[in-house]
């Protein structure tokens, strides 16, 4: 295989080289660090004669005495030098400091960054490679303002991405488009090392060209392509060690004391099930029994790219693996990418991007809650004398509560999946006349997933058992295709009128098929029998197809006069299979304009601004994120229990609404782009507001069933939400002596409001028979709603005197040590009417700080991200309660109220909790969720070429999630902030983001 | 030389002045009420002496007045753990009150000994900060508790023509001192007033009834020494021996035990034919005496026991003696109330027995769960309301090892607690699976119905104590009785 690569490499390398008669030699070096540049493309202007610099930056080329040499290299400004009879010419290349000339992909086209009229953030792929992660969006966190990315730390998990707030209850995921192909809402399959650039279309004037699915913003990803020049090989390897902070949970001794105190405080005898063989006060360390001290993460990549005038090529292969911090669970993916472009002539070009992948994962358990509540006096295994032939039955049952043995649960977890995928985007581009381009691309994204699960039979206890084993297999296919045709015309008239016209037509279809089968009563739990066919009872099978499709007509006009006055207008007409005739088509227009103030004559003599541009934008985007068959009613098979018999029948599955139509979001944006001090300081500022109309919500139709019922709900266009905010970005790049450094600062603030919820409250976050969150019209979304704790009753007098004006006790069940709740409406009764908004899970401010510096061969990168002003409803605070005999946080015995003046925060221990200290939603659970986290700290060293003659090697040492500054007492304020748009910020003890120390090697040759 | 004006300094001075002014403005908000007469408020209490008794609530009342407006009223007494400020500006934010009718209830403490005295300082403050204080003394030596019929005649009494004599065996108690008792049967011109004293008195007295079939209303009134009184009414029916629709088995010896339960005592038996009855009974203790009564609260006026002279049953409670069940186990007793013939035999229930102690499992909706029975309801100590979920503290019953049909559990109950439930298999999701047992719809929950029936009629705990719940799924009878 290696030999073939070398042959291809040599062949390609020589394609562009032709022998000439006059010889010029020299060295190409970088102006910044004086280091030689390998791989620079040296060409004799106007000829096909070219050369590539070697590892020391040296080149040799034949040229005419009067010729001009053109030297180009990615990341440097192009240099042109007259030969003027010289035989030795050294070239010093300047960094391409300004990114204003960078070409930005805008959706069905591209434009110079300086010519943007709408709010688009662009980030280069190399900035996303610093962080080793399974999902590249994790690396984007803090790099782009206005984009709130909340990471879930477990292997294979996807982050929550919210672009410029929330304007719909129907999900917040943006649309991901990879090389022109919409790929859904999860880009786990993508190798971060394959990304050339990423563009975030934030406002509607940018995203409207994606009409139907642009309401949550669009993320355009361009993968790496070959570039003209010699073949360059890159390889990298990163190995990391993940660790996770153990929560501070009580040991056996304190657990026993708390357990008993809860009863004695209520004048009851504790039904404590003591165990005689506890040998230490800590008892069983369930964290240690279920978690690894260190979990491994690995990331390996190899690629090459190059090209000639005719052929550009690029290929890569990558392997990523992340182990779960639990003793079971992992995720690994093998990705490859092949990109090729062939220029038949000046008129016709064609190419294909071909991205196969393979993913495999073993499910990561969700046991942190069980680990924290499990009785520490219970051993992992029951006494050996009680063991049976079924190893799953030999685990111990909790002595004093109903928590399932987490080690036993972990041992039974056998769920694993394999997924194969192929993303292919062949295309042809034809330029029949100057400026006119016709491009057609047919993209296909196919995935096949095979998931197996096995649940063994076992009997630990009557309440911890499965009488029968079950084997299940699910096969699921997704086959999406997209045909995109665009006609683009670009030209400049009279040197000042720049015009860019685009018209297009697209067809898209999304298909999903699955087949699911299971059987019970497998004769044995041995590995060899864990197949559906081995089951002997209860054969179940199901399967169905799902489709939806879109056809779209689109067009865009971009005009600018002398690069001072810009006007862009776009329109997209989408027709969707999700809607019926009359509502099937919708139009999404957008207009944006910009004024380069710095280009005006009156600005020529000023020295403050190097660039100053004002942008204005308006647009409409859509959302069709509803069931494929929302317009039609369905009847489904259902089961009903008569006595102990299960009967199978039919029932109403869903109620259709033939009038359902598009949800639209209207968006306004105003922004400034500025640069100062010879472009060293670049500032971007935006203000925006967006509001949804005809928001799709499910509404109960009482006429269907005659009574309220979930399956009588139907989709209706009845809601509205609004998001308003601002963004501010600062980027500073400079040098001090030989130290080159850069500072990036991203700030954004967004307020999300529910405008119309059809007059209803939307309650979410069910807990203890109540709800934690209430969404209300006119209020911020997803706010915590509950009672306000006004301290703790310290003595009998405070309890007795907490009455209404006529002496009626407001909390008749309270005792000293219980919470005092505020009577907010002063009606003398503590009830539902005293609930109020007690916290907001969405931050007031998001902050990203990115630092980089280099000195000679050393470089350092640091990324920080933080959110401020957000609250978290920390359900872990229940772990000071010991409900149902649960274990508690260490120190509970001392922290809980145990006499006047002991605390005003943690109530007394009580088994009955008659005052509902822990079972009412209240401000006790609300904590400040603000945090500031060092996401990445990386130090790199590039070994001099004089040491390694064949290649350039960079070594790096990184720390991810190195430290977090927060007052939040839970495990991770970031994962605790997760959740849907109407149910965010409840800490359910999810998998926290681990701290990872990584060692990396990058090799270029 | 002219000096350059210091604009920064001027700006700071101006800013300071503005902020200081604003601060003073906000600090004086409490003083914004105009003074009308500048006098201290007045307080007129309804009484400066209040009597109560242990456990009894009382109300402090009076009228506070102030021309300037009343800000608050504060009530303080350390012994009562009372330090309450009624902030009228908070309770009535929309109007400044010049007259306020104080009515402040205080929940009595049953631990009081009856000798305490609590001087409550009541301070009225007006919006100008002027105060008036008065003291009201609360003493706990009052008597507000009415006497109680611990054994009262049934609401329906039958006097047989063969023996037209109404015999009352009625016990009354009072927390302090009884005063009198009146037996009133107006149609018979009986108005018998008896002076009594002490805390307990049993009236044992007979009244002759006319020898004719008729009904009479009877009222019994008991009063204590300070005039608190309680009345109970019954209808006396003089008749031939009727064919009673309901007949009950009593396994207690004292009439008081017929009345101390929540429900279930005495136990309803089957009416199998005219004057013919059949009782099935589980005798859990050898030597238990049983009798049969048509009324529920007393052994008077009719109680079927064995007439020692004839060996047959007699309805005369003063003659009949209980039937003694000699061994542990199930019995079937049949008898005829007219002929007095009766038969006692051992009996075996035909209902299949079940293991319901949680050691066996039952599959419910696909989940294997322990076979065990609980009371799913309200008022049960330690259990969430109406749950069958063991994790939510379902009130799980124990199974008698000697008799698998008998399920039981003790509970400490507080007077006044309202209790109702369904007897049900537990469920890990709190559902109500089969088997379950409800009731036959009778007012006093006299019989259980498996997998059907009506909801239980709510019962109220009559006194603090430990109670025993017993349920026999073969007999379909349950009871909740006081054990201590």
Q: Is B95 at the interface with chain A, CB within 8 A?
A: no
For position B308, what pLDDT does the model report? 92
A23 and A133 co-located in one domain? no
pLDDT in tens, A633-681: 888 887 777 766 677 888 877 788 888 888 889 999 999 999 998 888 9
- Identify the band that residue B244 occupies on the pLDDT scale cut at 50, 70 and 90: very high
Q: Is residue A854 part of a domain?
A: no
Q: How far is B19 from chain A (nearest CA, A)?
A: 28
DSSP calls for A335-355? EEEEEEEEE-SSSEEEEEEEE
More confident residue, B170 or B12: B170
Of B84, B88, B392, the CB nearest to A801: B84
In a domain, A36, yes or no: yes
> Distance (Å, rounded) from C-alpha A87 to C-alpha B272?
130
Which among A808, A678, A809 is positioned nearest to A732, based on CA atoms?
A678
User: What pLDDT score was predicted for residue A94?
Assistant: 76
Is residue B428 scored above 90 in pLDDT? no
Of residues A21 and A460, which shows the higher confidence score?
Answer: A460
For residue A46, the domain's CATH number is: 2.60.40.4130
8 Å CB contact between A554 and A572: yes
Is B307 among the domain residues?
yes
DSSP letter string over A924-961?
Answer: GGEEE--EEEEEEEEEEEEEPTTTSTT-EEEEEEEEES
Q: What are phi and psi of A287, to 5 degrees?
A: -65, -50
Asked if the Cβ–Cβ distance from B83 to A826 is below 8 Å, we say no
Mean pLDDT of the B5-30 span: 47
Range of the domain at B275: 259-346
Within-domain flag for B468: yes
Q: Taking residues B109-114, what's their average pLDDT?
A: 91
Q: For the ranges A218-232, A250-264, B195-209, which has the lowest average pLDDT?
A: A218-232
Q: What is the mean pLDDT of residues A244-257?
A: 93
* DSSP collapsed to 3 states, A160-205: EEEECCCCCCCCCCCEEEECCEECCCCCCCCCHHHEEEEEEECCHH
Alpha-carbon gap, residue A310 to B13, rounded angstroms? 76
Q: Alpha-carbon distance A174 to A146, whole Å?
A: 13
Q: Which two three-digit tokens encode residue A437?
A: 């381009």
Q: Are residues B75 and B127 in the same domain?
A: yes
**Which residue in A268, A462, A806 is closest to B369 by CB distance?**
A462
Query: Interior CA angle at B359 toward B354 and B365, to 5°?
Result: 75
Do B263 and B325 share a domain, yes or no? Answer: yes
- Domain end (from B80, B107, B139): B139
The confidence band for A3, taking pLDDT boundaries of 50, 70 and 90, is very low
B352 touches chain A (CB under 8 A): no
| A644 contact residues in B (CB cutoff 8 A) | 363-364, 433-434
The more confident residue out of B235 and A190 is B235
Given this model, what pLDDT does residue A96 score? 62
Whole-number pLDDT of residue A279: 63
**pTM confidence score:** 0.79
The strand ranges marked E within B269-427 are 270-273, 276-283, 288-293, 305-306, 313-314, 323-325, 329-336, 342-346, 357-364, 367-378, 395-396, 398-399, 406-413, 418-425
Could you tell me the strand order of the sheet in which B288-293 lies? B267-268, B248-250, B288-293, B323-325
Residues A113 and A209 in one domain: yes
Contact B368 A462 (CB under 8 A): yes
Q: A108 and A70, same structural domain?
A: no
Q: In this model, does residue A335 exceed pLDDT 90?
A: yes
Instruction: Say whether A644 and B363 touch across the interface (CB within 8 A).
Output: yes
Q: Same domain for B219 and B284? A: no
Q: Please, which residues have CB within 8 angstroms of residue A612's CB and are 6 or more apart in sequence?
A: A596, A597, A598, A603, A672, A673, A674, A675
Residues of B in contact with A373 (CB under 8 A): none
Which comes out higher in pLDDT, residue B250 or A78? B250
Considering the domain architecture, whether residues A26 and A107 belong to the same structural domain is answered as: no
pLDDT at B414 over 50: yes
- Using pLDDT thresholds of 50, 70 and 90, give the confidence band for residue A188: confident
Picking from B77, B108, B139, the residue at the C-terminal end of a domain is B139
Measured CA to CA, the distance from residue A798 to residue A796 in angstroms comes to 5
Probe site for chain A from B56, B86, B450 (most A CB atoms < 10 A): B86
Instruction: Tell me which of A464-468, A887-891, B76-80, B468-472 is least confident.
Output: A464-468
Pair of tokens at residue A735: 């040098």
d(CA A206, CA A667) in angstroms, rounded, equals: 10
With vertex at residue B33, the alpha carbon angle to CA B32 and CA B36, rounded to the nearest 5 degrees, is: 145
Last residue of a domain, one of A179, A202, A232: A232
Domain boundary among A48, A75, A93: A93
CB contact under 8 A, B78 and A797: yes
- Measure B282 CA to nearest chain A CA, in Å: 29
| Chain A residues touching residue B359 (CB < 8 angstroms) | 462
Task: Please check whether residue B225 is in contact with residue B196, taking contact to mean a CB–CB distance below 8 angstroms.
Answer: no
CATH number at residue B62: 2.60.40.10
Pairing state of beta strands B229-239 and B156-160?
parallel
DSSP A498-544: EEEEEEEEEEEEEEEEEEEEEEE--S--SGGG-SGGG--EEEEEEEE
pLDDT tens-digit readout, A355-383: 999 999 999 999 999 999 999 999 999 99
B93 touches chain A (CB under 8 A): yes
Cα–Cα distance measured from residue B30 to residue B68, given in angstroms and rounded to the nearest whole number: 13
Q: Which residues make beta-bridge pairs with B146?
A: none
Cβ proximity of A799 and A830 under 8 Å? no
CB distance A800–B81 less than 8 Å?
yes
Q: Please state, in angstroms and rounded to a whole number, the distance separating the CA atoms of residues B182 and B170.
A: 12
Using pLDDT thresholds of 50, 70 and 90, give the confidence band for residue A822. very high
The last residue of a domain, from among B346, B372, B397: B346
**Containing H/E element for A743?**
strand A739-757
B388 with B464, same domain: the answer is: yes
Give the number of domains in chain A.
2
Q: pLDDT tens-digit profile of A11-27?
A: 433 433 444 467 888 98
Q: By C-alpha distance, which of A468, A644, A765 is closest to B427?
A: A644
Q: How far is residue A402's CA from residue B391's CA, in Å, rounded to a whole number?
A: 7
Would B7 be classed as within a structural domain? no
Q: Per the structure block, which two tokens stand in for A936?
A: 């990445």
Q: How far is CA A323 from CA A153, A155, A298, A336, A403, in A?
A: 11, 7, 9, 21, 26
Contacts of B365 in chain A (CB under 8 A): 641, 646
For residues A31 and A67, membership in a common domain is answered with yes
Name chain A contacts of B81, Cβ cutoff 8 Å: 795-797, 799-801
Q: Are A117 and A219 found together in one domain?
A: yes
Note whether residue B213 is domain-resident. Answer: yes
| Long-range pairs, A327-330, Cβ under 8 A, ≥24 | A327/A290, A327/A291, A327/A292, A327/A410, A328/A362, A328/A364, A328/A365, A328/A410, A328/A413, A329/A154, A329/A155, A329/A361, A329/A362, A329/A363, A329/A364, A329/A365, A329/A413, A330/A155, A330/A361, A330/A362, A330/A364
Chain B within 8 Å of A646 (Cβ-Cβ)? yes
Tell whether B34 lies on the interface with A, counting CB pairs under 8 A. no
Residue from A51, A55, A93 nearest A75 by CA: A93
pLDDT at B406 > cutoff 90: yes
Could you say which of A172, A204, A232 is where a domain stops? A232
Interval A256-272 mean pLDDT: 89
Residues B340-371: pLDDT tens digits?
999 999 999 999 999 998 888 888 776 778 89
The b-or-e profile of A852-871 (16+ CB within 10 A means b, else e) is bbbeeeebebbbbbbbbebb
Within the 158-187 window of chain B, which residues sit less than 8 Å (CB to CB) from chain A?
Answer: none
CATH code, A173: 2.170.130.10
Query: Are A109 and A225 within one domain?
Result: yes
- In this structure, of A176-190, A928-942, A945-959, the range with the lowest mean pLDDT score is A945-959
Q: What is the pLDDT of residue A12?
A: 37
| Cβ–Cβ gap B368/A800 under 8 Å | no
- Pull the structure tokens for residue A12: 């390609």
Q: Say yes or no: A648 contacts chain B, CB-CB below 8 A.
A: no
Per-residue model confidence (pLDDT) at position A704: 65
How many residues in total does chain A contain? 1005
Q: What are the chain B neighbours of A809 within 8 Å (beta carbons)?
A: 107
B370 → closest Cβ in A462, A795, A808: A462
Instruction: Name the β-bridge partners of A464.
Output: A461
Q: Same domain for B385 and B317?
A: no
B209 and B268 housed in the same domain: no
Residue in chain B nearest A520 by alpha carbon: B366
SS3 track for A365-398: CCCHHHHHHCCCCCCCECCHHHCCCCHHHCECCC
Same domain, B169 and B189: yes
- Looking at the DSSP bridge assignments, the partners of residue A355 are A423
A-B CB pairs within 8 A amount to 75
Whether B420 maps to a domain, the answer reads: yes
The minimum CA-CA distance between B86 and chain A, rounded to whole Å, is: 6
Greatest Cα pair distance in chain A: 110
CB contact under 8 A, B359 and A462: yes
B363: chain A residues, CB-CB within 8 Å? 467, 644
Task: Note whether B382 contacts A806, CB cutoff 8 Å.
Answer: no
Residue at A792 is within a domain? no
pLDDT band at A1 (very low <50, low <70, confident <90, very high): very low
Q: Is A809 on the interface with B (CB under 8 A)?
A: yes
B433/A646 Cβ within 8 A: no
Are A85 and A109 members of one domain? no
Q: Is B363 on the interface with A (CB under 8 A)?
A: yes
pLDDT tens, residue by residue, B373-398: 999 999 998 787 888 888 777 899 99
Is A53's pLDDT higher than 90? no
Q: Is the pLDDT of residue A687 over 50?
A: yes
> A142 Cβ partners below 8 Å, 6+ apart?
A149, A746, A847, A848, A849, A850, A863, A864, A865, A935
* Residue B469 shares a structural domain with residue B428: yes
Task: Enumerate the residues of chain A whose CB falls inside 8 A of the CB of residue B368.
Answer: 462, 465-467
For the beta carbon of residue B29, count every other beta carbon within 10 angstroms.
Answer: 8
Indicate whether B227 belongs to any domain.
Answer: yes
| Average pLDDT in chain A | 88
Residue A253 lies in a domain: no
For A276-285, A438-447, B289-298, B345-354, which range has the lowest pLDDT when averaged over its residues? A276-285
**What is B362-387 written as a DSSP string?**
EEETTEEEEEEEEEEEES-TT--TT-
Residue A119 and residue A212 in one domain = yes
pLDDT band at A80 (very low <50, low <70, confident <90, very high): confident
Residue A540 Cα distances to A517, A533, A639, B429, angstroms? 5, 11, 14, 24
Examine the pLDDT at A77 and tell me if it is beyond 80.
no
Contact residues on chain B for A808, CB-CB shorter than 8 A: 105
**A195 & A125 share domain:** yes
The answer on pLDDT for B273 being more than 90 is: yes
Q: Do B91 and A646 touch (CB under 8 A)?
A: no
Range of the domain at A126: 103-232
Identify which of A462, A374, A401 has the alpha carbon closest to the alpha carbon of residue A884: A401
Identify the band that residue A58 occupies on the pLDDT scale cut at 50, 70 and 90: confident
Residues of A in contact with B105 (CB under 8 A): 806-808
Question: Is the confidence at residue A33, as pLDDT, over 80?
Answer: no
Strand-strand pairing, A663-676 and A681-693: antiparallel
The one-character DSSP state at B457 is P
Overall number of domains in chain B = 4
Stronger pLDDT, A36 or A818, i.e. the higher one: A818
Q: Is residue B28 part of a domain?
A: no
Is the bond leading into B329 cis (omega within 30 degrees of zero)? no
Same domain, A64 and A119: no
Does residue A528 carry a pLDDT above 50? yes
Query: Residue B479's pLDDT is what?
Result: 96
pLDDT at position A9 over 80: no
Residue B35 within any structural domain of the chain: no
Give yes or no: residues A114 and A174 share one domain: yes
Any idea which of A61-65, A477-481, B50-54, B189-193 has the lowest mean pLDDT?
A: A61-65
Tokens of B218: 């009877």
Give the three-class secondary structure for A125. Answer: helix
pLDDT at B264: 93
């Amino acid at each position: 295989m290696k030999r073939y690569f070398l042959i291809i490499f040599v062949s390609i390398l020589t394609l562009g080289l032709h022998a000439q008669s006059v010889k010029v030699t020299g060295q190409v070096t970088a102006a910044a660090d004086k280091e030689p540049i390998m791989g620079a493309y040296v060409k004799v202007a106007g000829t096909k004669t070219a050369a590539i610099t070697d590892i020391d930056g040296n080149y040799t080329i034949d040229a005419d005495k009067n010729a001009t040499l053109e030297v180009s290299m990615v990341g440097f400004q192009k240099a042109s030098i007259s030969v003027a009879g010289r035989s030795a010419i050294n070239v010093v290349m300047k960094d391409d400091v300004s990114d204003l000339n960078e070409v930005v992909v805008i959706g069905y086209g591209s434009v110079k960054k300086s010519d943007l009229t709408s709010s688009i953030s662009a980030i280069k792929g190399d900035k996303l490679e610093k962080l080793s992660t399974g999902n590249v969006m994790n690396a984007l966190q803090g790099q782009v303002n206005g984009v709130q990315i909340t990471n879930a730390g477990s292997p294979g998990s996807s982050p929550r991405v919210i672009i410029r707030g929330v304007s719909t209850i129907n999900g917040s995921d943006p649309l991901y488009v990879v090389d022109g192909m919409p790929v859904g809402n999860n880009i786990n399959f993508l190798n971060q090392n394959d990304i050339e650039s990423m563009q975030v279309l934030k406002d509607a004037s940018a995203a409207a060209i994606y009409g139907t699915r642009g309401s949550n913003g669009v993320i355009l990803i361009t993968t790496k392509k070959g570039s003209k020049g010699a073949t360059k090989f890159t390889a990298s390897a990163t190995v990391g060690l993940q660790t996770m902070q153990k929560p501070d949970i009580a040991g056996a001794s304190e657990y026993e004391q708390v357990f008993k105190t809860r009863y004695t405080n209520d004048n009851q005898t504790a039904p404590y099930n003591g165990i005689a063989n506890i040998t230490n006060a800590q008892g069983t360390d369930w964290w240690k029994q279920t978690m690894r001290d260190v979990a491994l993460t690995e990331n390996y990549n190899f690629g090459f790219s190059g090209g000639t005038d005719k052929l550009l090529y690029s290929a890569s292969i990558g392997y990523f693996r992340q182990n779960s911090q639990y003793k079971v669970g992992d995720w690994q993916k093998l990705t490859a990418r092949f990109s090729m472009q062939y220029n038949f002539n000046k008129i016709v070009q064609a190419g294909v991007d071909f991205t196969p992948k393979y993913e495999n994962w073993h499910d990561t358990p969700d046991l942190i809650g069980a680990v924290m509540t499990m009785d520490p006096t219970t051993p992992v295994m029951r006494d050996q004398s009680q063991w049976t032939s079924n190893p799953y039955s030999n685990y111990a049952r909790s002595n004093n509560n109903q928590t399932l043995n987490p080690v036993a649960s972990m041992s039974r977890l056998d769920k694993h999946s394999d997924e194969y995928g192929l993303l292919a985007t062949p295309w042809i581009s034809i330029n029949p006349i100057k400026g006119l381009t016709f491009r057609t691309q047919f993209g296909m994204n196919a995935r096949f997933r095979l998931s197996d699960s096995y649940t063994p039979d076992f009997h630990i206890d009557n309440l911890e058992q499965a009488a029968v084993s079950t084997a299940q297999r699910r096969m699921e296919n997704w086959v999406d295709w997209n045909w995109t045709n665009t006609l683009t015309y670009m030209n400049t008239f009279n040197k000042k009128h720049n015009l860019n016209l685009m018209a297009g037509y697209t067809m898209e279809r999304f298909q999903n098929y699955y087949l699911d089968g299971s059987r019970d009563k497998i004769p044995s739990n041995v590995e060899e029998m864990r197949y559906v066919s081995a089951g002997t009872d209860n054969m179940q099978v199901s399967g169905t197809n799902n489709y939806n499709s879109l056809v779209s007509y689109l067009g865009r006009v971009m005009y600018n006069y002398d690069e001072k006055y810009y006007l862009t207008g776009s329109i997209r007409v989408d027709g969707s299979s999700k809607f019926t005739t009359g509502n099937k088509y919708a139009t999404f227009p957008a207009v944006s304009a910009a004024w380069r103030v710095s280009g005006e004559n009156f600005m020529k003599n000023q020295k403050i601004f190097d660039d100053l541009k004002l942008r204005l934008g308006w647009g409409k985007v859509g959302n069709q994120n509803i069931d494929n068959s929302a317009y039609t009613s369905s009847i489904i098979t259902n089961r009903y229990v008569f006595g102990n018999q299960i009967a199978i029948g039919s029932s109403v599955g869903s109620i259709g609404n033939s009038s359902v139509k598009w949800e639209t979001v209207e968006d306004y944006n105003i922004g400034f782009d500025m640069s100062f001090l010879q472009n060293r300081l670049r500032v971007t500022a935006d203000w925006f507001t967006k509001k949804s109309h005809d928001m799709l919500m499910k509404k109960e139709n009482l006429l269907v069933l005659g009574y309220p019922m979930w399956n009588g709900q139907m989709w209706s266009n009845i809601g509205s939400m609004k998001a308003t905010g601002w963004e501010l970005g600062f980027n500073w790049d400079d040098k001090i002596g030989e130290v080159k450094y850069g500072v990036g600062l991203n700030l954004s603030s967004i307020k999300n409001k529910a405008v119309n919820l059809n007059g209803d409250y939307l309650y979410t976050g069910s807990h203890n028979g109540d709800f934690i969150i209430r969404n209300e019209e006119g209020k911020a979304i997803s706010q915590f709603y509950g009672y306000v704790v006004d301290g703790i009753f310290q003595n009998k007098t405070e309890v007795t005197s907490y009455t209404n004006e006529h002496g009626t006790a407001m909390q008749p069940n309270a005792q000293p040590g219980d919470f005092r709740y505020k009577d907010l409406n002063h009606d003398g009764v503590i009830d539902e009417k005293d609930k109020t908004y007690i916290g907001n899970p969405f931050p007031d401010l998001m902050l990203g700080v990115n630092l980089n510096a280099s000195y000679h061969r050393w470089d350092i990168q640091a990324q920080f991200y933080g959110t401020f002003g957000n609250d978290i409803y920390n359900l872990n605070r229940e772990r000071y309660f010991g409900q149902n005999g649960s274990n508690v946080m260490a120190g509970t015995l001392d922290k809980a109220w145990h006499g006047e003046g002991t605390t005003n925060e943690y109530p007394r221990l009580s088994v009955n909790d008659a005052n509902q200290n822990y079972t009412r939603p209240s401000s006790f659970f609300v904590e400040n969720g603000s945090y500031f986290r060092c996401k990445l700290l990386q130090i790199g060293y590039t070994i001099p070429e004089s040491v390694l003659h064949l290649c350039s090697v960079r070594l790096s040492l990184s720390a991810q999630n190195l430290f977090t500054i927060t007052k939040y007492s839970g495990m991770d304020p970031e994962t605790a902030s997760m959740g849907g748009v109407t149910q965010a910020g409840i800490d359910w003890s999810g998998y926290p983001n681990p701290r990872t120390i990584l060692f990396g090697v990058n090799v270029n040759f | 030389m002219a000096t350059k004006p210091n604009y920064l300094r001027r700006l700071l001075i101006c800013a300071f002045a503005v902020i200081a002014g604003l601060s003073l403005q906000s600090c004086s908000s409490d003083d914004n009420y105009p003074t009308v007469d500048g006098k201290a408020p007045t307080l007129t209490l309804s009484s400066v002496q209040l009597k109560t008794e242990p456990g009894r609530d009382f109300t402090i009342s009076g009228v506070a007045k102030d021309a300037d407006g009343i800000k608050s009223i504060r009530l303080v007494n350390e012994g009562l753990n009372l330090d309450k400020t009624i902030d009228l500006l908070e309770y009535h934010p929309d109007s400044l009150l010049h007259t306020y009718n104080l009515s402040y209830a205080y929940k009595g403490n049953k631990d009081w000994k009856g000798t305490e005295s609590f001087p409550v300082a009541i301070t009225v403050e007006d919006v100008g900060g002027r105060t008036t204080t008065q003291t009201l003394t609360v003493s706990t030596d009052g008597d507000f508790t009415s006497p109680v019929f611990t054994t009262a005649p049934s609401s329906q009494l039958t006097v047989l023509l063969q023996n037209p004599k109404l015999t009352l065996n009625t016990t009354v108690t009072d927390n302090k001192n009884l005063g009198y008792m009146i037996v009133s049967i107006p149609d018979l011109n009986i108005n018998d007033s008896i002076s009594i004293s002490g805390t307990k008195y049993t009236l044992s007295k007979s009244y002759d009834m006319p020898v004719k079939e008729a009904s009479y209303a009877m009222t019994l009134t008991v009063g204590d020494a300070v005039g608190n009184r309680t009345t109970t009414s019954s209808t006396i029916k003089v008749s031939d021996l009727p064919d009673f629709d309901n007949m009950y088995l009593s396994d207690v010896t004292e009439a008081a035990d017929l009345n101390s339960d929540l429900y279930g005592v005495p136990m309803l038996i089957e009416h199998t034919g005219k004057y013919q009855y059949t009782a099935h009974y589980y005798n859990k203790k050898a030597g238990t005496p049983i009798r049969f009564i048509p009324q529920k609260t007393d052994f008077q006026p009719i109680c079927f026991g064995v007439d020692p002279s004839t060996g047959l049953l007699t309805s005369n409670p003063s003659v009949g003696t209980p039937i003694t069940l000699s061994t542990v186990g199930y019995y079937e007793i049949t008898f005829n109330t007219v002929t007095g013939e009766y038969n006692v035999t051992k009996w075996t229930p035909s209902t299949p027995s079940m293991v319901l102690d949680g050691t066996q499992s039952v599959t419910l909706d696909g989940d294997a769960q322990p076979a065990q029975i609980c009371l799913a309801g309200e008022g049960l100590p330690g259990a969430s309301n109406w749950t069958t979920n063991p994790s939510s503290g379902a009130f799980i019953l124990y199974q008698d090892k000697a008799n698998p049909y008998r399920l039981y559990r003790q509970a400490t109950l507080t007077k006044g607690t309202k209790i109702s439930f369904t007897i049900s298999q537990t469920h890990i999701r709190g559902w109500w699976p089969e088997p379950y047992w409800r009731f036959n719809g009778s007012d006093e929950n006299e019989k259980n119905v498996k997998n059907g029936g009506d909801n239980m009629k709510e019962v109220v705990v009559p006194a603090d104590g430990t109670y025993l719940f017993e349920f026999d799924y073969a007999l379909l009878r349950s009871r909740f009785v006081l054990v201590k």
